[in-house]
């Protein structure tokens, strides 16, 4: 079923040694030039980007005995996971949920680190209001019926029109009369709830293959009680991190990668045996990092068909709770995606917060005061003019962030899941990780985390003699031999 939100879940365990060895056998031979012996490296591996992908990779590479230097353009670690605090309430400006508890490696990591998790968010019990503030009593049954029809159309389009957009499919289904039981306004809202909120993308630009992009884990979506920050701090504990270091170029030679860095307006060059790039795909699309030699045509195509969407968060704290008990509150908005989905944080953490998720493209153009006022107009349309004003607000602006330029990845029209595999392919001594490069679990913290482990396994096999490797597969093999 397509019923929203797609349980975007998470990841498999790290690469086995066998798969990593198989991959490494295809590498070109090292240059035997004697000058390599005397070459000075700043680290065995330089990791670019201190989000979950970069930190997971750096932590694993260090555990494997390699020297690692992690470069981050921002003045903080975390990338698109950014926690601020209001007392006991963790305010997540970016990543918020662990999607799917069952077999989720980040859930296991949280348990190992003693990080508690909230109750799961009950998305399926959402209350739905129309554009006039009246509750739509049968909205859930309409959504289930709508979902069944759309699922049939998705199967047809994947077979005969795999390069179409979600909007093309929806227009076809609507013109056929198969969705005649739902109003145009509710139909538009369902598209937003099911697809656009899930992928932070407009349906007109979203590939129909997004319906089968990635895998799902069961178990519901909890939040880390103190946010993702403690988890990130644990991962970075013993890593050499340089903040405020923006990588602007990567230059490969026979035996090294020169990493050109801008720090406080001054460029410097660092040398490494392998570079791991974990920046968002939007940074690559914008050409903010130069490559010499340039990336392959195959890689450039993959970069361009993977989009990065706009999804922002508006946290509002109130002196009292006046809204429904349901975990999710949906509103048919006059402008699709603009203050149409609210999450009842009070039902999850006990704190009097409402969280709006907005995919509206022009939201960031407004001032904080203008955004809050517009949000309040929508809430007054549901709950009346007498509701209190918020005492605090926190608003994200990921599209205007120069180091993310968007929220998370999606497949553009014409894009295929295989493009994520191509994005993950190394180019010489440069490796690539990040949520956009994980075919099974894109657009999640979990996908980012495991993509980092994936590349750490590849790099370990390249740089260390197999007899010295400490990969999980080898540890198991050694244990069996000892027994």
Residue 322, in any domain of the structure? no
Structure tokens, 163 = 């390069």
303 and 410, same domain (yes or no): yes
- The span from the CA of 145 to the CA of 104, in Å, is 31
Could you report the average pLDDT of every consecutive run of 10 residues in the chain (483 residues)? Answer: 36 38 45 54 98 98 97 98 95 94 91 91 90 92 94 94 94 93 91 89 92 83 93 95 98 96 97 98 97 97 94 96 96 85 95 93 91 95 96 96 95 93 97 97 95 97 67 43 43
285 and 432, same domain (yes or no): yes
Q: By residue range, what is the domain housing residue 191? A: 142-209
Domain end position, chosen among 159, 177, 209: 209
Partners of 47 in the β-ladder = 70, 276
Residue 278, in any domain of the structure? yes
State how many domains the chain has. Answer: 2
51 and 166, same domain (yes or no): no
- The span from the CA of 28 to the CA of 276, in Å, is 18
Residue 129, in any domain of the structure? no
Structure tokens, 168 = 């093309």
How many helices (H) and strands (E) would you count in the chain? Answer: 16, 18
- The span from the CA of 232 to the CA of 227, in Å, is 10
**pLDDT score of 466:** 52
Q: How far is CA 180 from CA 11, 32, 58, 132, 185, in A?
A: 39, 70, 53, 21, 12
176 and 286, same domain (yes or no): no
Q: What is the CATH number of the domain that holds 278?
A: 3.50.50.60
Partners of 89 in the β-ladder = 86
- The span from the CA of 231 to the CA of 418, in Å, is 31
Residue 446, in any domain of the structure? yes
Other C-beta atoms closer than 10 Å to the C-beta of 386 total 7
235 and 293, same domain (yes or no): yes
163 and 24, same domain (yes or no): no
Residue 216, in any domain of the structure? no
Nearest C-alpha neighbor of 223 from the set 349, 39, 328: 349
Contact of 240 with 72, CB cutoff 8 Å: no
202 and 236, same domain (yes or no): no
60 and 189, same domain (yes or no): no
Domain end position, chosen among 174, 209, 244: 209
Residue 438, in any domain of the structure? yes
**pLDDT score of 478:** 44
pTM: 0.88
Residue 134, in any domain of the structure? no
Helix (H) / strand (E) element for 483: namely none
Contact of 313 with 395, CB cutoff 8 Å: yes
Contact of 239 with 61, CB cutoff 8 Å: no
272 and 416, same domain (yes or no): yes
Beta strands in 12-63 (DSSP E): 43-48
Residue 124, in any domain of the structure? no
């Amino acid at each position: 079923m397509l019923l929203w939100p797609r349980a975007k879940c998470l990841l498999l365990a790290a690469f086995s040694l066998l798969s990593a060895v198989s991959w490494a056998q295809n590498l070109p031979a090292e240059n035997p030039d004697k000058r390599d012996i005397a070459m000075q490296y700043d680290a065995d591996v330089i990791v670019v980007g201190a989000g979950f992908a970069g930190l997971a990779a750096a932590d694993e590479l260090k555990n494997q005995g390699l020297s690692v230097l992690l470069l981050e353009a921002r003045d903080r670690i975390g990338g698109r996971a950014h926690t601020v605090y209001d007392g006991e309430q963790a305010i997540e400006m970016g990543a918020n949920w662990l999607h799917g508890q069952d077999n989720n490696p980040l859930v296991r990591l949280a348990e190992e680190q003693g990080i508690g998790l909230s109750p799961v968010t009950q998305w399926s019990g959402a209350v739905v209001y129309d554009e006039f503030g009246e509750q739509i009593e049968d909205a859930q049954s309409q959504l289930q019926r709508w979902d069944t029809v759309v699922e049939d159309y998705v199967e047809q389009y994947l077979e005969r029109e795999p390069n179409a957009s979600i909007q093309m499919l929806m227009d076809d289904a609507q013109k056929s009369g198969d969705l005649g039981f739902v109003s145009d306004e509710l139909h538009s809202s369902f598209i937003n709830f099911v697809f656009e909120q899930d992928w932070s993308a407009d349906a007109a630009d979203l590939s129909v293959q997004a319906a089968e992009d990635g895998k799902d884990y069961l178990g519901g979506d909890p939040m880390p009680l103190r946010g993702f920050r403690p988890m990130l701090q644990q991962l970075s504990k013993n890593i050499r991190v340089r903040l405020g270091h923006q990588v602007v170029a990567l230059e490969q030679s026979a035996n090294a990668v020169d990493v050109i860095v801008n720090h406080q307006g001054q460029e410097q060059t660092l040398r490494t045996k392998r570079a791991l790039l974990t920046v968002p795909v939007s940074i690559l699309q914008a050409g903010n990092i130069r490559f010499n030699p340039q990336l392959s045509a195959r890689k450039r195509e993959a970069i361009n068909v993977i989009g990065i969407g706009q999804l922002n968060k508006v946290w509002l704290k109130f002196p009292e709770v006046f809204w429904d008990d349901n975990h999710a509150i949906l509103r048919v908005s006059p402008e699709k995606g603009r203050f149409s989905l609210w999450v009842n944080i009070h039902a999850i953490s006990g704190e009097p917060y409402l969280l709006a998720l907005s995919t509206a493209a022009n939201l960031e153009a407004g001032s904080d005061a203008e955004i809050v006022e517009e949000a309040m107009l929508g809430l007054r349309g549901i709950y009346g003019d007498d509701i209190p004003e918020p005492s605090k607000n926190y608003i994200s602006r990921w599209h205007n962030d120069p180091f993310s330029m968007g929220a998370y990845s999606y497949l553009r029209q014409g894009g295929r899941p295989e493009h994520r595999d191509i994005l993950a392919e190394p180019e010489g001594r440069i490796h690539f990780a990040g949520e956009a490069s994980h075919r099974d679990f894109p657009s999640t913290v979990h996908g980012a985390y495991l993509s980092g482990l994936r590349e750490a396994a590849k790099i370990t096999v390249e740089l260390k003699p197999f007899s010295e490797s400490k990969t999980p597969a080898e540890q198991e093999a050694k244990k069996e031999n000892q027994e």
